[in-house]
Structure 1
Amino acid sequence: MLTENLVAAFAPHEEIARPLLPYACDTDDGSHDIAHILRVFSNAMRIAAKEGGDLKLLAAAVLLHDCVAVEKNSPLRAQASRLAADKARTVLEGLGWPADEIGAVAHAIEAHSFSANIRPETLEAKILQDADRLDAIGMVGAARCFYVGGRMASGLYDPFDPKAERRPLDDKAYSLDHFPVKLFKLADGFQTGEGRRIARERHDRLQQFYDLFLDEI
């Protein structure tokens, strides 16, 4: 439900957020809910404060980057960002945005996804990609990993070989396997200087979580 408190959370871009929030997320996936949008917005604004960029375009791209919900185990997963970009175009056209701004927002959305493997060509696209990936590492990234694993009916870990030393990694079967399969690789692919700096901090936290988890089991 759209509330003034929610709109205010996107300050100083409330006038961009107000018409776009109804489209921001339409899912019961707690790893891609409005809290995720808010975290990505915070990350994006933090990076932009150091790197620059068009904040109007960036705010719109953040708000609409997950406007089409596709489950992690869906065969359409690799197309999720393209589908979201297409929907964003339609939404922004309906609001009367100029064609060049719509194209810039759509490109940032399409290029943000790890699965899409599209090179971000603009500063706003680079910032959105970094801001979204920051939410996949660190403590929040660990929490989201296990949340999604539960949603997909995965086990926490293989009790007989949790580090996959004698078997192939399988992050569909075990959530802990997703750390070496994907999460530990994310910090190497950041696009901006500030994004890379924050990513190094969060990667270290993610590694610490993994090590402490293994110690406890």
Structure 2
Amino acid sequence: MKQKDYQCWESYMLSCMGDTAHDREHIYRVLYQAMELAKGEAGVDYEVLTAACLLHDIGRKEQYEDPSVCHAAAGARKAYVFLTENGYDVGFAGKVADCIRTHRYRKDAPPESLEAKLLFDADKLDAAGAIGAARTLLYHGKENEPLYSMTEDGKVSDGTKDTEPSFFREYKYKLEKLYGQFFTEKGRELAQTRRDASRRFYESLLAEAREAYRGREVLKELLDGQDPE
């Protein structure tokens, strides 16, 4: 792999990034994590893997502007056009595009090549553990979405039955379920080491939020003219 190729892919990636939860540091973490995962695998095409990692989120802008757009599909198309227009052959561009197209979890479009599986696992590892929780909070803050919602009886919801976006809902519907989705042995092992950190953060946040609301009963008694017990 030549330095000029890396710089070409990196430069285009940097021109496309902006989302705080999917910023350039996310891209670099995914790239470096993929390199680490690849060390235990035979026959890795490092050029395809590197280009795919650098370009895997270039479709985020299109999805942000139109939520019906899948950023993985949009990014795959953009990467293919960019690579072919910059002199890379269609075979290479197609392999990179396939990795990008399948890096987002979809049952009807699982990653097939080794490079696609390495990208998938590296990207999901960045959604696992403490860093995954932090990135999720960044995203929900950017979207002005709350940490939690309230149940009909006035309690802090744990997210299980939520229909509106919140951090707790994202944890129950996505973050908690990540750990059975990995394709490489090393990816699965690393994911399990991060699982407890994510779970402990969620459980602590839920407990502290619910504890804070206990004082509401005290306020209610005061407003009703009663002395708090």
TM-score by length of 1: 0.85
Query: Across the two proteins, how many residue pairs are aligned to each other?
Result: 202
1:175 aligns with 2:167: yes
Match of 2:22 in 1: 32
Q: Does 1:91 align with 2:82?
A: yes
Tell me which of 93, 112, 115 is aligned to 1:121: 112
Aligned partners of 2:129, 2:83: CA distance in 1, in Å?
A: 33
CA contact 1:64–1:109 (8 Å) conserved in 2: yes
Aligned residue in 1 for 2:204: 212
Q: Distance in 1 between matches of 2:172 and 2:96?
A: 32
Matched, 1:162 2:157: yes
Structure 2 CA distance for aligned equivalents of residues 65 and 211 of structure 1: 32
Q: Return the alpha-carbon distance in structure 1 between the equivalents of residues 201 and 159 of structure 2.
A: 17
Distance 1:46 1:163 in 2: 35
Matched, 1:137 2:124: no
Are the counterparts in 2 of residues 169 and 181 from structure 1 also a CA contact under 8 Å?
Answer: no
Counterpart of 1:102 in 2: which secondary structure? Answer: helix
Distance 2:131 2:107 in 1: 22
Between structure 1 and structure 2, the one with the greater Rg is 2
CA RMSD of aligned residues (A): 2.1
* CA–CA distance in structure 2, aligned partners of residues 128 and 76 of structure 1: 23
Q: Structure 1 stretches of 5 or more lacking a match?
A: 1-11
In 2: Cα distance, 1:62 partner to 1:110 partner: 12
Q: How does 1:56-75 map to 2 (within 5 A)?
A: 56-69=47-60, 70-71=62-63, 74-75=66-67
Contact 1:112/1:129 (8 A) holds in 2: yes
Change over 3 Å in CA distance of 1:171–1:206 after alignment to 2? farther
Partner Cα distance (1:89, 1:141) in 2: 29
SS of equivalent residue, structure 1 residue 31: helix
Match of 1:42 among 1, 8, 32: 32
Query: Following the alignment from structure 1 to structure 2, what is the Cα–Cα distance between the partners of residues 106 and 80?
Result: 12
CA contact (8 A) 2:159 2:171 kept: no
- Alpha-carbon distance between aligned partners in 2 of 1:118 and 1:82, rounded to the nearest angstrom: 11
**Contact 1:127-1:192 within 8 A present in 2 as well:** yes
